[in-house]
A and B are shown apart, each in its own frame.
Chain A
Amino acid sequence: MDNCVIEVEHLTKRFGDFTAVDDITFSVRKGEIFGFLGANGAGKTTAMRMLTGLSFPTSGRGQVAGFDIRTQSEMIKKHIGYMSQKFALYGDLTVKDNMELFAGIYGVSRREAGKRIGELLERLSLAGERNTMVRELPQGWKQKLAFSVSIIHRPGIVFLDEPTGGVDPAARRQFWELIYEAVDEGITAFVTTHYMDEAEYCNRISMMVDGRIEALDSPSALKKEYGVSSVAEIFDILARGAKRTE
């Protein structure tokens, strides 16, 4: 389908006799914010590693950003963005160095990179800080920078792996507004989070339990289906049924 950025069928990953991801089938539409939820150990990380071309599925098939996850993983890596809270930028490189480094890694041509970096510095009001070491920046700026750098090659989709873990309520909201802006410009966002209020910001969410996707729909449709008033309650209902203890 043309309007899907991710489309996978029966995706499965086994490690020995342990099935980390168990036959998942789903798609992510172009331009949506897709929340990928689940308890620790439910299989989210393994699934995400397959979607980003870092891990080869045991069985099943699918496409990400128009490339086959079994045969074109290198192409996938070039055409997606990725950011996590744990690792985002090199603290002992300057703002501009970080931008240049990631533009280079993502294969943006030197001339184009120069142009985009200039625009980005302007847009993030970081022009005066271009030669500042990233570790010296306030957390909020670091986050903005990390996110902008992860989409410097203008990918169709960006994977955000717990981008707001351990972040205070004010900074978390600022970060989500960045996501909204990027999506407004046509990027698709695939997000994992443990904050259930953030799940409400997504167009659609999936809930993973024991390697399977147990629920997938818009937050409001799911709340109606489960007869509850918040995504947190759905999480509790589904997590209670989990057999796997991490």
Chain B
Amino acid sequence: MDSIVIHNLRKSYGKGRLPAVDLAGEYRIGKGEMFGIIGPDGAGKTTLFRMLATLVSPESGKAEIEGLDIVKDYRKIRTILGYMPDRFSLYPDLSVKENLEFFASVFGQSIDRNSSLIENIYCRLRPFENRMAGKLSGGMKQKLALCCSLIHSPSVLFLDEPTTGVDPSSRRELWENLAHLKANGMTIVVSTAYMDEADRCDRVAMMKEGKFLAVDSPRAIVSKFDRKLISVRSDEMFRLLNDLRSMDVVEKCYTFGDSHHMVLKPDARTDAGGIASVLEQDFGHRNVSVSEISATLEDCYMNLEDK
């Protein structure tokens, strides 16, 4: 069954500007699905979240959350939807506990009734219960914001870049919590700049200039990558990057952690061994290591705009 249905949804800010969101056609997100949105700054991710969360009205088109219309039924939607915006939106001069109590009271609930849903997350905050929310560290603020967005046991949860500024260990903890919520049947839509997080979603939408360029499971997106991809290392990584880019068999080359990834032109007649010998002989690189690899989601993202 569908949890979210989007139909020709569009929103522009001001005349003469490209629409921030311009989703032509129909997109459906299933109940209990973990749906990821990735895309550059200004792609329209936040505007899409704000529309679906009934905070801004669409210019045209429509969308439904659990069968409720985002314009007509906005009040009802707010009772079944949890939304964690991309910037800190709690009261900095209330304590951790007061923030939680406040959000619970807004939804006419007591904290106890929902503790099972947030207990896993809140247990880490309990030692700081009386600290002002504004004095928490980044990771702790994030945890508190998540608790507050779950306080009314929503059936749909929106998270707009929840892990920006969060260290790797806390990121993993957050994703463990999300997996737990998903196991309880919650529909989760999450935007992220981390491709390892997008990899954890059932499906991912790659968004750019207000549109979804591709919507599919990470595995399907990766399997559609049809170019030869090669990973390269040497002793001089910065020079290597420029040298690789100067080779005419190379279509694109970018850094990738401790190596560089390069995409060969479709008609390139060479392989890992051929590239290694060029680097050693023509460019004088040492300790060259070259291997053909299969694409990750991040490679697909890096090559998206060229299609």
Question: What is the 8 Å Cβ interface bit string for chain A, positions 188-220, against chain B (1 contact, 0 not)?
Answer: 000000111100110000000000000000011
B-facing residues in A153-202 (Cβ within 8 Å):
162, 165-173, 176-177, 180, 184, 194-197, 200-201
B255:A239 contact, CB within 8 angstroms: no
- The answer for the CA separation of A176 and B298 in the assembled complex, in Å, is 16
- The answer for the CA separation of A236 and B167 in the assembled complex, in Å, is 10
B39:A246 contact, CB within 8 angstroms: no
Lowest 8 CB-CB distances: which A-B pairs, in order?
A166-B164, A139-B41, A197-B257, A40-B139, A200-B258, A200-B257, A246-B137, A39-B167
Pick from B127, B139, B301: contact of A169, CB under 8 Å: B301
A196:B168 contact, CB within 8 angstroms: yes
Residues of B within 8 Å of A177, CB to CB, are 241, 255
Residues of A within 8 Å of B195, CB to CB, are 169
Please report the total number of A residues contacting B with Cβ < 8 Å: 36
Q: How far is the CB of A170 from chain B (nearest CB, A)?
A: 6
B167:A239 contact, CB within 8 angstroms: yes
Q: Main secondary structure on chain B at its contact with chain A?
A: mixed
Sample (27) of A-B pairs whose CB atoms are under 8 Å apart: A40-B139, A41-B139, A139-B40, A139-B41, A162-B165, A165-B164, A165-B165, A166-B41, A166-B161, A166-B193, A167-B193, A168-B39, A169-B193, A169-B195, A169-B301, A169-B302, A170-B302, A173-B255, A184-B238, A194-B171, A196-B257, A197-B257, A201-B237, A201-B257, A235-B169, A236-B168, A246-B139
- The answer for the CA separation of A166 and B127 in the assembled complex, in Å, is 29
Please report the total number of B residues contacting A with Cβ < 8 Å: 37
Interface assignment of B288: CB less than 8 Å from any CB of chain A: no
Interface assignment of A121: CB less than 8 Å from any CB of chain B: no
Pick from B41, B161, B194: contact of A171, CB under 8 Å: B41
Interface assignment of A128: CB less than 8 Å from any CB of chain B: no
Question: What is the 8 Å Cβ interface bit string for chain B, positions 25-60, against chain A (1 contact, 0 not)?
Answer: 000000000000011111000000000000000000
